Amino acid sequence: MRRNIFGWWAARVGLLIGPAGCAGNQSMFSPAGVDALATLNLFWVMLAGAVVIWFALNGLFLYVTRIHVGKMSRRLAEAVIIGGGILFPLVVLSALLIYSLPMMGEQRAPDDGLRVRVTAERWWWRVEYWPDGATAPIIAANELRLPVDQRTEIELTAGEVIHSFWIPALGGKTDMFPGRITRMTLAPSETGTFRGQCAEFCGLSHALMAIPAVIMEPAAFDGWLREQALPATSSGAGRAVFLREGCGACHAVRGTPAAGRVGPDLTHLGGRTALAAGILPMTADALRAWITNPEAIKPGAEMPAYDHLDESDLAALAAYLMGLK
Amino acid sequence: MTDRDQGTYPPTEKMLAQPVPDDVAKGQEERLRKVWAQPPGWRYWSAVNNTEVGVWYCLTATFFMLLAGILALLMRVQLAVPENDFLDADRYNQFFTMHGSAMMFLFAVPIFEAISILILPSLLGARDMPFPRLSAYGFWCFVIGGIFVMGSILFDAAPNAGWFMYPPLSTEHGGIGTDIWLLGLSFIEVASIAAAVELIVGVLKCRPPGMRVNIMPLYAWYVLVVGGMIVFAFPPLIAGDFLLEMQRSFDWPFFDPERGGDPMLWQHLFWIFGHPEVYIIFLPSIAVTAMIIPTAARRPIVGYSWIVLSAVGTGFLSFGLWVHHMFATGLPSISLGFFSAASEAVVLPTGIQIFAFVATLMVGRVRMIHPMLWIAGALAIFVAGGLTGVMVAIVPFDWQVHDTYFIVAHLHYTVFGGMLFPVIGGIYYFYPVIAKKQLSERLGRWAFWLAFTGFNVTFLPMHLTGMRGMPRRVFTYPGDLGWNWLNMISTIGAFVMATGLLIFVYDLLRPKGKQPDPPRNPWDAGTLEWTHNVPAESWGIRSIPYVNTRYPLWQQPKMQQRIDAGRYYLPDAQEGKRETLVTSVIDAHPLHVQRVTGPAWITIWAAVFTGGAFIFPTFHWYPPAIVSAVLAVACVIYWNWTSTAEIPEAETKDAGLGLRLPLYVSGPDAVGWWAVWITMLADATAFSSLVFSVFFYWTASTQFPPQGAGFANPVLMAIGTGLVVASWALTAWARRDAGRGAMAALAVAMLAACAGGGVLILALWLPDMDPTAHVYPAMMWALVVWVIVHLIAGVVLQGYCLAGLAFGKITRRYDAPLWNSLLFWHFLCLTVLVTGAMVAIAPRLMT
């Protein structure tokens, strides 16, 4: 099942059409990774068992309280305790553990060369790509791109508080701690864009911390990564506004004097699928709304409001940023 | 003369068959009624007996449940549609934090203790709980702490970092919300432990003569197990609260990774508490079910021993599962596998308990009395929650659904099926005992079907919502992820469910003055609580029976009539004192007559000042906090001095049926000594949590202690420890002597303890160990602070004994306070020795 390459923003338009739209692309029911698929299969097995057991147990209760209220033999009753309370769960649970425990190792298998470090900030994501043999990372933010059919290691850490990294269509989640590195690996099996979201409560805007994961063919991914390593090419009037307003104190745009590390790296902002950690579309309008009043969109966001910019400055700034492909 | 009983025991059938003359019985009844009467008018609120305090306790917990439920409804309104702005992010975060915290700490645990305080004495044929003023004190602490914590919502100052309070989110948060949580709930936890201690002692020592442990009602077994779990589960959280509050107030960096701290430590301490907590709220409702099922089946429970073993097994297992709340924290697969298997193992004891109930229904002739409807609903819900529990205990599946709405669904299925529904069923069942009226079956059916349907409409879709990717604790969500209609359904269901629960609460509270008295034993049950008096009498039970069967009302047919006639033990209150019978732990052999405390305002004052000691630090008002703490201690001393371990007017008294029993015992025979033992177990558990923390830092970090860090002065540590040990030895000697020499010994012991504490502080002070610099000195200070606080308590106890000896309240014969104080000192001595080793020796070996 190939996903719409325009990601979940396209789904905004085609709202809930058909079963695919219904499942959404943050759903465990549309797996696009080896691990997510294995876990979904595990779920179907467990669900089938659970439904049978639920009906059996409640059926038995109904039977002895409503249908057959006469006395039954004590031996039978004791057999029910031993059989239902000990033997049956022992067998079923052992089987389930034997089936499921090895999956942990499979889902934590080593990577095939690429390593990505994701650092959770409040409330956005630093993303650093470390291809095999790299000595310095290629820096991006708020979007994860992975090559299909390869296992990639995701190295996780956090800035101030605990977060959790989770892209349901690809696999399970792992928590991100300040001052500690945790690891997981993901093996996407389909190209497309899949939405992930912070899963550990991290304060005011926990609900507004998403991350699109774009899965690409390996060749396309390599090309994209090479471009990411390059400095920015955009210019125009907006560039001057950007530098004049001091945006560079927090944001880096490689190839310009802006080298801040507090906020997301914006070198290739315009090429990303979404803005403000997956909560706004990457459009000039959304950029303007964000710049004028981030607090209104993401409560507690640290970026100050640039509501003093006049119309032409804003338009130029948005155009400049959109041009950072 | 501390010998056991004098006289015939057990009573012969001939003795029991002897009638009690009418006029004698009349006189006895009058005296009992007078002694146990509730105080009139506004003095009613000074009452301490279990029938009053238990009812207040239940109603207060229910009130907090309703408030927390309203928060849930408001959250459901916010989530009904995507991108809603009914609640802003901060308010939503306050609401979900308070919903969880209140349901756990202000409802689920307290309601168990409340119901148990209310009905346990009647299940055991006791007049009251062993320490009525302690229950009253616990209740008032609960009220004050609960109002403080819940009230913060009205000032927009409520805690908002989640009921799990994970640092660093909770440590760096501005505002006082987190402090309110830490201090307010610690205060309530202390009250919970107090109630647990009382309940455990009640089960162990206040059973009726002849009721051996293997025939006591299953409810009592569960009280014992759950009480024990509270004693061991709450202290790690209290230790964690202590560390977290020290970081927030004084910047001791326990959870700050930049200074060697580790946020994972909190998660371990929190869940070592948090998982047993789940069973602490689940087992009591199994206990209620275990009382209702035999009544419905009209025969004794099948598999009594299986159930008891399973309950105990669940209690033990529950302490080995905590990591399943931390599957996503990146722990090694081998530990995850172990905890996954352990989590699945708990299915066995749970399954045995459920199948034992089914087995009882199979062999009985079932009558579907109304409480059974709630039990059936509970089973349907709980089994579903249990099955999803089996799923989430599987690590790869949990990696997906952890912290999603699937978990929200799962946990509500377990708490509604495993707690709320059985508790409501239990209230229908026990209501005649409590209120001497009956609840309406018609309203009950409405309440049940609305709550049951509403519950499933709310929470069944949430499994799907979670698997479609919706995380927990989000105040809003985008509209294009396929969650909209699911959330709308859940919101509608929540209101249906709330309607059902409101009908129940209405039925509970509506005036029932015109309703005729119900029959004494409306369900034809077989256990002792149904010997209650209708209309109500304040004495609890007319005379304390000799019980040698599990279902005495079914198996000892003349019992009811003999109880009423005053044929059994303690049928009278000749001396005008409130009394109950204390028996031996295993065989329930009668040991002595316990004089229990009566109405008092002092318990309320003690609770108010204890509250001040916890609440003022929230605002960093330390001087009033210290004054409050001193006043609280003064109140407790006054209350103990004036009403406990009073020297009786005679050595023994006639307890009825020709049995003479002592009126004063000390040491292991006394209930007070048992209470101190159990309290100190809890205290030692908290201390162990601190020691565990030291080892946790050591194993988790190479920087504990950091390179070049200083050490505590070993000579001073040795001297300080030695002085405290000397103080302990002198206290031990004083207990043996209990005379003039003892007074001198205690005086010296107090000085030694004070000096020892001072030297211990110097041992860290002189080498300039700065607790804000790194977690290592902070941890060392935390251990020493812990010892100092206990030394203060220890010195107060020594002073109490000294004064007791000086004023003749304690003598060689009447020496209970000495025994109890020495028991405290045994634990203190151990604590200081371990602290000495941990502070002076361990860090040198750890580098």
- Mark which residues 806-825 of B lie under 8 Å from A by CB: none
Same-domain check for residues A125 and A206: yes
A99 and A51 within one domain: yes
Q: Are residues A243 and A275 in the same domain?
A: yes
A15 contact residues in B (CB cutoff 8 A): 479-480
CB contact under 8 A, A16 and B480: yes
Which of A28, A44, A184, A211 to mutate to test binding with chain B, by most B CBs within 10 Å of its CB?
A28
Longest distance between any two alpha carbons in chain A, whole Å:
90
The minimal CB distance from B169 to the residues A173, A180, A203 is found for A203
Residues A165 and A136 in one domain: yes
Mean pLDDT of B80-109: 95
The tens digit of pLDDT for each residue in A201-235 reads: 999 999 999 999 999 999 999 999 999 999 998 88
Contact B299, B364 (CB under 8 A): yes
Q: What residues contact B235, with CB distance under 8 A and at least 6 apart?
A: B193, B682, B683, B685, B686, B688, B689
Structure tokens at A33: 């990774």
Same domain, A59 and A101: yes
Token pair, residue B257, equals: 């990774």
Among B355, B366, B380, the residue with its CB nearest the CB of A85 is: B355
Confidence class for position B248, pLDDT limits 50, 70, 90: very high
- List, for residues B496-553, the tens digit of each pLDDT value: 999 999 999 999 999 998 889 999 999 999 999 999 998 889 898 999 999 999 999 9
User: Is there a domain that residue A27 lies in?
Assistant: no
- pLDDT given at position B2: 41
Q: Which residue, among B148, B221, B225, B161, has the nearest Cα to B191 in the 3D structure?
A: B148
User: Are residues A254 and A204 both part of a single domain?
Assistant: no
Hey, is the C-beta of B366 within 8 angstroms of any chain A C-beta?
A: yes
B263–A178 C-beta distance less than 8 A: yes
Residue A1 lies in a domain: no
Q: Among residues B112, B105, B391, which one has the least CA distance to residue B274?
A: B105
Closest Cα partner for B464 from B480, B495, B484, B486? Answer: B486
A195 and A122 in one domain? yes
Q: How far is B82 from chain A (nearest CA, A)?
A: 12
Give which of A35, A61, A107 to mutate to test B binding, by max B Cβ within 10 Å: A61
Mean pLDDT computed over B688-715: 92
* A60/B396 Cβ within 8 A: no
Retrieve residue A269's tokens: 């902002």
DSSP code for B471: B
User: Looking at the 3D structure of chain A, how many domains does it have?
Assistant: 3
Lowest mean pLDDT among B2-6, B115-119, B171-175, B458-462: B2-6
Residue A179 Ramachandran class (φ > 0 left, ψ -120 to 50 alpha, else beta): left
> Across residues B564-580, what is the average pLDDT?
93
Above 50 in pLDDT, residue A128?
yes
Q: What is the DSSP letter of A85?
A: I
Which residues 6+ apart lie within 8 Å of B321 measured at CB? B275, B339, B342, B343, B346
Contact list, A93 vs chain B (CB under 8 Å): 344-345, 347, 390
- Average pLDDT of B22-32? 94
What percent of chain B stands above pLDDT 70?
99
Contact yes or no for A174 and B400 at CB 8 A: no
ipTM of the complex in this document: 0.93
Looking at the structure, do residues A245 and A316 belong to the same domain, yes or no? yes
- Per-residue HEC secondary structure of B711-731 comes to CCCHHHHHHHHHHHHHHHHHH
Are the Cβ atoms of A66 and B362 closer than 8 angstroms? Answer: no
Residue B710 contacts A, CB cutoff 8 Å: no
Indicate whether B756 pLDDT > 50: yes
Residues of B numbered 255-274 whose beta carbons fall under 8 angstroms of chain A's beta carbons: which are they? 257-258, 262-264
The verdict on A75 and A126 lying in the same domain is no
CB contacts, 8 Å: A80 with chain B:
355, 358-359, 362
Its pTM stands at 0.94
Residues A126 and A204 in one domain: yes
Nearest CA in chain A to B350: A85
Give the residue from A9, A121, A161, A170 with the most B CB atoms within 10 Å of its CB, the best one to mutate: A161
Task: Dump pLDDT digits (tens) for A155-172.
Answer: 999 999 999 999 999 999
Tell me, what's the pLDDT at A69? 81
In a domain, residue A22? The reply is no
Structural domain boundaries, residue A186:
115-213
Predicted pLDDT at B645: 87
pLDDT in tens, B335-376: 999 999 999 999 999 999 999 999 999 999 999 999 999 999
Q: Closest CB to B400: pick one of A89, A156, A172.
A: A172
A100 and B396 in contact by Cβ < 8 A? yes
In the predicted model, is pLDDT for residue A21 greater than 60? no
CB-CB under 8 Å, A85 with B306: yes
Mean pLDDT of A231-251: 93
pLDDT band at B172 (very low <50, low <70, confident <90, very high): confident
Q: Which residue of A has its CA nearest to B478?
A: A279
Mean pLDDT, range B633-646, rounded to an integer: 93
Segment B94-101 mean pLDDT: 96
Whether residue B122 contacts residue B433, with contact meaning beta carbons closer than 8 Å, is answered with yes
- Coil, strand or helix: which one is B604? helix
CB contacts under 8 A, B 611-650 vs A, are: none
In the predicted structure, residue B423 carries a pLDDT above the cut 90 = yes
* CATH 1.20.210.10 segments of chain B: 50-509
Q: Which residues of B touch A182 (CB under 8 A)?
A: 329-330
Average confidence (pLDDT) over A246-274: 95
DSSP B592: E
Select from B400, B470, B488, B696 the residue whose CB has the most chain A CBs within 10 Å, as the one to mutate to test that interface. B400
What are the residues facing A211 on neighbouring strands?
Answer: A196
Find, among B420, B424, B423, B400, the residue nearest to B411 by Cα.
B420
24-53 of B, contacting A, C-beta below 8 A:
none
**Terminal-residue alpha carbon distance, chain A:** 29
**Which pLDDT score, from 0 to 100, does residue A9 have?**
39
**Cβ contact (<8 Å) for A164 and B328?**
yes
Residue A310 belongs to a domain:
yes
A221 is a domain residue? no
Q: How far is B247 from chain A (nearest CA, A)?
A: 15
| Nearest CA-CA distance, residue B452 and chain A, Å | 15
Cβ(B764)–Cβ(B723) below 8 Å:
no
Q: How far is A281 from chain B (nearest CA, A)?
A: 12
Cβ neighbours of A71 (radius 10 Å): 15
In this structure, is residue A227 part of a structural domain?
no
Min Cα distance A46 → chain B (Å) is 7
Kindly report the CATH number assigned to the domain that includes residue A249: 2.60.40.420
Amino acid letter, residue B395:
V
The shortest C-alpha distance from B691 to chain A (Å) reads 23
Question: What gap in Å lies between CA B436 and CA A180, rounded to an integer?
Answer: 60
Q: According to the model, what pLDDT value does residue B535 have? A: 87
Contact yes or no for A179 and B360 at CB 8 A: no
B772 touches chain A (CB under 8 A): no
8 Å CB contact of A65 and B263: no
> Coil, strand or helix: which one is A119?
strand
Question: How far does Cα B173 stand from its chain's mean position?
Answer: 30
DSSP A299-315: TT-SSPP-TT--HHHHH
Could you tell me if A102 and A124 lie in one domain? no
pLDDT digits (tens, 9 = 90+) for A80-124: 999 999 999 999 999 999 999 999 999 999 999 999 999 999 999
**Minimal Cα distance from B300: which residue of A?**
A74
pLDDT tens, residue by residue, A59-88: 999 999 988 887 889 999 999 999 999 999
Does the domain formed by B50-509 have CATH 1.20.210.10?
yes
Task: Please give the helix or strand (H or E) that residue B703 lies within, else none.
Answer: none
A120 and A102 share a domain?
no
Residues 154-183 of B with CB under 8 A from A: 161-162, 166, 168-169, 172-173
Residues with Cβ < 8 Å from B715, sequence gap 6 or more?
none
Interface test with B, best of A181, A201, A205, A295 (most B CBs within 10 A): A201
AA identity, residue B20: V
Asked if B102 and B149 touch (Cβ cutoff 8 Å), the reply is yes
Q: What value does the mean pLDDT of chain B take? A: 94
The residue among A291 and A68 whose pLDDT is bigger is: A291
Cross-chain residue pair B395–A101, CB shorter than 8 Å:
yes
How far apart are alpha carbons B683 and B696 in whole angstroms?
Answer: 20
Higher pLDDT, B748 or A7: B748
DSSP 8-state code for residue B682: H
Q: Which of B363, B387, B404 shows the shortest C-beta gap to A72?
A: B363
How much is the pLDDT for A15? 39
Name the segment(s) of chain B with CATH classification 1.20.120.80.
667-846
> What was the pLDDT predicted at B470?
97
How far is A325 from B347, CA to CA, in rounded Å? 55
What is the per-residue pLDDT for B793? 97
Instruction: Say if A283 falls within a structural domain.
Output: yes
On whether residue A11 sits in a domain, the answer given is no
User: Which residues of chain B neighbour A164 with C-beta distances below 8 Å?
Assistant: 328, 402-403
Average pLDDT over residues B583-608: 94
Domain B667-846 listed as CATH 3.40.50.1820: no
- Give the type of residue at B604: I
- Neighboring chain B residues of A96 at a CB cutoff of 8 Å: 344, 390, 394
Tell me how far CA of residue B66 lies from CA of B108, B147, B156, B277, B748, in angstroms. Answer: 12, 13, 19, 21, 54
Please say whether the beta carbons of B794 and B753 come within 8 A. yes
